Structure 1
């Protein structure tokens, strides 16, 4: 049967690529991805047929991966982080849904065996770098309004603030979009103090990694680029220091038992 692996490669450090993902990559003859991800995988991709489509060609990548798999090639569709979180897995199933609805004329796609292989997400990588920031209830919000109306995003930011969730912001800024993060900051300041700890993680686990500790009141979009994820603590999140060591953690309530 035709096979398509839908693979999350993790945040970038090869040591964080899951063993199951490695096995799937080795079993594949063709790899479909944004070229930078194939570069990060390095020798793992050696001897494979590369299909590199640029940013903005996500639908084309998903179509190509399904086409390759339907033609009999064991194919890997690859995203960084977890491919099911703001990534390519949803497009694969959306296209299959379109076939089932008669809106896509590719019945051969339905014969492809699909296996989704999860990976470590950026929010997990960032939390691990600073301690245990996701120790209690949390959520993620993408600030990109390319596919989601801004009114919906704004409503979700308010809901996260009212619910006192730790919030990890994906896609906080882009070359054409730099005001949403500051707006999100101002919304959260309505619900939690300016001293709330914030982690800014750029190129997490990659050679260019930069971790910045700041507060909600001091957070500014000028500190962030499109390779950055921002995590904002809740009202209980703590930033502690021991000499030059910094940690951020969100308690679960064990203090009453200690």
Structure 2
């Protein structure tokens, strides 16, 4: 008789409230024989675990969790390996696949693997403070337990200069107290001291706390391992207790005139300063004698990129265009 196929379900349980857990996440836990997770996450789903084998692991025992999940699945059991937020965002999906590959696992093996997505901390915290992620954003973990600090610092410096809205994960712990201070210093090299910042602790959990502050005061806030720090870009603002990052509609539409299209712009088409318009202006400036080096400095872009753009074939924008991904 063929033994039953085991399964590992990498379950993102969201920020912690059952109201924000997906239906599939709840179903995965319900069908599991074994539930494995960090002790704090196990507590968040304790009322869903009756009759199940529960394996509680410590904060730094991620690989142990993955190894235990694989061993149980090879016995034919269904295993829910849980992460807060999303299992693929600083969660258990990555280390589990590493353990699986190291053990010779392939998708055709006797253990099935399913990643069950969940709302990450960046989504949960953004929802609580307004709409800070409406434009380009990224996330960076300040944990140097596995990543060298110079790597983290280079990333912080790059995103600060690039004007992303940034979510800082793992910003501070009892032993790691200076990382948030260093991050603040790197951001202040590129951004104004009054840049809006939201500090969200325990989003959608019992001890939820939200604090609005500014970049120059950020490191003075109550920050810990259950905190996510959202740093706005140069256009982010706070009004009526809500943090908002404009999408850029004001670049194309006159919001004071009923949303009419500004001169030189067309609804559903790229901005006049979008790629093709910018390339046209760049060529015109270069033809008037402005050097590549000067153009690179003006646009804050690498000179070799400017040169490549100038040498690229001239393209004509299509006469008929779709509504450009809903003004995306």
TM range (shorter): over 0.9
* The structure with more radius of gyration: 2
Alignment of 1:54-73 (within 5 A): 54-73=58-77
2:83 matches 1:84? no
Q: Residue 246 of structure 2 aligns with which residue?
A: 251
Give, in whole Å, the separation in 2 of the partners of 1:221 and 1:69.
46
Measured after TM superposition, the shift of residue 112 of structure 1 is 0.7
Give, in whole Å, the separation in 1 of the partners of 2:132 and 2:74.
42
Give, in whole Å, the separation in 1 of the partners of 2:46 and 2:21.
12
Higher mean alpha-carbon deviation, 218-227 vs 36-45, is at 218-227
Give, in whole Å, the separation in 2 of the partners of 1:126 and 1:116.
22
Give, in whole Å, the separation in 2 of the partners of 1:64 and 1:97.
15
Measured after TM superposition, the shift of residue 49 of structure 1 is 1.1
Give, in whole Å, the separation in 2 of the partners of 1:173 and 1:57.
19
Unaligned runs of 5+ in 2: 256-328
Question: How many residue pairs align between the two structures?
Answer: 249
Contact 1:173/1:224, CA 8 A, preserved across alignment: yes
2:154 matches 1:155? yes
Measured after TM superposition, the shift of residue 221 of structure 1 is 5.0
Structure 1 residues 145-196: Cα deviation after superposition (integer angstroms, max 9, x where no partner): 1100101000000110111101100010111110111111111111111111
Q: Residue 144 of structure 2 aligns with which residue?
A: 145
Residue among 30, 40, 43 paired with 1:39: 43
The higher relative CO (CA closer than 8 Å, separation ≥ 6) is in 1
SS at match of 2:247: coil
Measured after TM superposition, the shift of residue 222 of structure 1 is 5.2
Contact 1:7/1:116, CA 8 A, preserved across alignment: yes
Give, in whole Å, the separation in 2 of the partners of 1:198 and 1:46.
41
SS at match of 2:228: strand
Q: TM-score, normalised by structure 2?
A: 0.73
Measured after TM superposition, the shift of residue 42 of structure 1 is 2.8
> RMSD over aligned Cα, in angstroms?
1.6
Alignment of 1:1-258 (within 5 A): 1-100=5-104, 110-220=109-219, 223-241=222-240, 246-255=241-250, 256-257=252-253, 258=255
Measured after TM superposition, the shift of residue 44 of structure 1 is 1.3
SS at match of 1:218: helix
Contact 2:201/2:228, CA 8 A, preserved across alignment: yes
Q: TM-score, normalised by structure 1?
A: 0.93
Structure 1 residues 37-59: Cα deviation after superposition (integer angstroms, max 9, x where no partner): 12111321222110111111111
Superposed structure 1 runs of 4+ greater than 6 Å apart: none
Q: Residue 103 of structure 1 aligns with which residue?
A: none
Measured after TM superposition, the shift of residue 97 of structure 1 is 2.1
